[in-house]
Amino acid sequence: MIVQSKKGHDRGRLYLVLACKGETRLLLADGRTRGYVDAKLKNTKHVRPFGQAIDEMELEELLGGELCESECNLSIRKLIAQWTQDREIKTK
């Protein structure tokens, strides 16, 4: 799922949801400032869901293979960029 930050210094930035941590926390990565390894933990109140870019199984295939960290980050950036381009969404 793609979400946009509503609060904080990263307001307006798009992220890919990597995982849910409990009921109120999401593990987010954008492939630039927050990569696959150092993903951001953010409260669900502080993000706005935009839509489904990739399902859970595809995400596991994309990131679960034998890719290094930089390749995972590149894949995340490409996925967000393609999704944004398809919907013409303005971001930070």
pLDDT tens profile 49-85: 998 888 888 888 877 777 788 888 999 999 999 988 8
Is residue 91 pLDDT above 80, yes or no? no
- The neighbour count for residue 38, using CB atoms within 10 Å, is 10
Name the pTM for this structure. Answer: 0.86
Residues 38 and 32 sit within 8 Å (Cβ to Cβ): no
Would you call 49 helix, strand, or coil by DSSP? strand
Topology (CATH) of 2-87:
SH3 type barrels. (2.30.30)
The ranges assigned to domains in the chain are 2-87
Choose among 45, 40, 44, 43: nearest CA to 15.
Answer: 40
Phi-psi region of 22 (alpha: psi -120 to 50; beta: other; left: phi over 0): left
Provide the pLDDT for residue 12.
94
Tens digits of per-residue pLDDT, 23-59? 999 999 999 999 989 999 999 999 999 988 888 888 8
